[in-house]
Structure formats: C-alpha cells, structure tokens
Amino acid sequence: MDARDPAGLHTALCMLRDYGFVCLEGVPATMEATEQASRRVSFLRETLYGPGMWRTEVRAGGGNDTAYTGIPLPVHNDGCYWADPPGIQSFHCLQGAPAGGGTSILVDGLAVAAALRSQDPDAFDFFASVELPYHHTDPDAEVSQRRPVIGVDRATGELASFAFNNDDRAPLRLSPPSRVPQFYKHLRTLTSLLRSPAFELRLSLQPGTYLIFDNTRVLHGRTGFKTDSGRVLAGCYIGKEDWHARLRTVARAMGKYTPSVTLQPPAPPAAPTPPVAQ
C-alpha cells in the first residue's frame, strides 16, 4: 500500500485501529518527511515537549524526561498526567545506535488487561476502578491527573483503554488508605504481566520505518543504549478524536464508512501467559 494515497491511508489507519500500531515503510529519514507523513494522519499536538514534531535524543542533564537519557525504559503510556493523553504517538528512527541497544518494545495493554481479568479478577477490578495519581514537574510545567489503568466501555463492557506509567506516578493518596497496600499487592501482578516476553513485540527501528501506535492502548519502552551513540528519534503526538476523524473521512471517501468505523474491536486473545508472581 501507499499511505500517500487515500486507499493506503485508509488501510494504515484501519491497521492502527485493529492492531494498535502500524509501520509505514519508505519514509525519508528527515524531520520534514516525518512531519509530512504525520500530517497525513491529522493535526499535530503542541505540548510541553514541543510544538508538533519533536526529537528524542540524549540531552545534557537528561532534559525534562527520562526519554532524553540512554537508560532502559520500562513499557509505559505517555501523558498519564494530562486530562487528555495523546491518542497517537509515533517514532521514526532518524539515526540508530551503532553500538547497539535502543530496541523499541511494544506491549498491547488490552491483551494484558484481558489476561489480568482471567488470572486475577481482584487485581483487574482494582486497576479498572481505582484512579492512580500521576504528575510531571519541570521549570516550565506542572501537571497532574488521576486515572484508572484499565478503561472499560460502559455501554459494551469491552476493554477500551490502558494507561500506566510507573515512572510518572505521584505520591499515593488513596481513599480509603487501605487501598495503598492493595495497590502494591496488585502492582506486583500487573508488572509481572507487563514485563512478560509473552506480551512483548521488540522492534529494531531503522531509518525509513515510521512506527505509529495508539497510546491509549499500546505501551512502549526501549532497551538502554550508550549516551554518545547519536541515536535520534523523530515523533509527535496526535489527538484521538483527530485521527478518528481522519479515519471517518477517509473511509467515507472510500465508500467504506459505517457509524462504527472508529470503534475499537474487542481485544485480541491474550498471549500465553507466565505464572503470576505471588
């Protein structure tokens, strides 16, 4: 397919909807070409990380986020501290890490939620109902928000979203306080699943391959790399309503529009799961 054509763009957006991510091949490894491809999807969101497109690379002092270091990052969702987390996040490797490392890791949060529901219903109920606090503070920004890890569609009962970032959690002030030890008990189970290779997809991104994923469903992380490696990722955030609107209009142009065109399908069957840590 060619994402520059309406049919190709429709296919790419349907893959994003159905699988939670899509890789576009043949995108020139420049900020300009990456932005052009991104704007085919929709408007770029301006945030505290920059106006539209941003570069993820090692910064002196680590910048205002762990992304700007070379340390390994456990899988997480971005923007848990915002009222409206990014619907889409994207990565285009403009320059790799010649010495190795920097492998991207994706985990389908809906598959993890489905496994948690079958393996540990108490933990599932906790993470689907208790709002966890998140925050981000730097010299120019201070934002905070509370949200449950697992979102369930109230109308259908289907798993709908996933939001978790252990590194961005704020001090726990749960009510009643008895929920705090419950949290740590259930966190052990959740972390065991999120770190399980059974749920991981590892991608060694290369210049030319542009990864776009649903940040409200798919968690992302990376292996560590040397800080002097020169690794550079270009990317952006796009709002969920904006890329859904583009999917509807492209589907309409293709004669494939239905009122439910942007509804997420049920979560895929859970991958084989390892024993849960007790």
Using CB under 5 A, count the residues that bind Fe ion: 1
- Point out which span in 51-59, 74-82, 191-199, 238-246 binds Fe ion (CB under 5 A): 74-82
- Taking the complex as a whole, the smallest distance from the CB of residue 90 to Fe ion amounts, in Å, to 11
Contacts of 217 (CB under 8 A, 6+ apart): 20, 108, 109, 110, 161, 162, 264
CB 141 within 8 A of CB 152: no
In whole angstroms, give the CA distance from residue 24 to residue 92. Answer: 9
By beta-carbon proximity to Fe ion, the closer residue of 66 and 249 is 66
Site for Fe ion in 99-158 (CB under 5 A): none
Q: What values do phi and psi take at 165, rounded to 5? A: -150, 100
Return the number of the residue (78 or 120) whose C-beta is nearest Fe ion.
Answer: 78
User: Based on CB atoms, which residue is closest to Fe ion, 13 or 233?
Assistant: 233
Is there a cis peptide before residue 176, judged by omega within 30 degrees of 0?
yes
Q: Which region among 73-81, 107-115, 116-124, 130-138 touches Fe ion (by CB under 5 A)? A: 73-81
Instruction: Compare residues 108 and 120 and give the one whose CB is closer to Fe ion.
Output: 108
CB of 154 to Fe ion, least distance (A): 28
Least Å distance, CB 256 to Fe ion, is 33
Minimum Å gap between C-beta 76 and Fe ion is: 6
Please tell me what DSSP assigns to residue 231: -
The identity of residue 51, as a single letter, is P
Nearer to Fe ion, 78 or 108 (CB): 78
Cα separation of 85 and 66, whole Å?
18
Reading the block at residue 201, the tokens are 């997809």
**DSSP H or E run through 23:** strand 21-24
Smallest separation (angstroms) from Fe ion to the CB of 85 = 11
- Distance (Å, rounded) from C-alpha 115 to C-alpha 112? 5
Residue (74 or 123) nearer to Fe ion, CB: 74
- Name the residue nearer to Fe ion (CB basis): 218 or 251: 218
Q: How far is the CB of 79 from Fe ion (least distance, A)?
A: 9
Nearer to Fe ion, 9 or 218 (CB): 218
Among 17, 29, 70, 78, binds Fe ion (CB under 5 A): 78
Shortest distance (Å) from residue 10 CB to Fe ion:
28
User: By CB under 5 A, which span of 71-79, 184-192, 199-207, 265-273 interacts with Fe ion?
Assistant: 71-79
Say if residues 214 and 20 touch (Cβ distance below 8 Å): yes
Near Fe ion by CB under 5 A, which window of 28-36, 75-83, 138-146, 228-236?
75-83
CA distances from 74 to 9, 82, 204 (A): 31, 20, 16
Closest chain position to Fe ion (CB): 78
SS3 annotation, 237-259:
EECHHHHHHHHHHHHHHCCCCCC
Q: How many other C-beta atoms can be found within 10 angstroms of the C-beta atom of residue 278?
A: 7
| Residues that bind Fe ion in the complex, under the rule CB under 5 A | 78
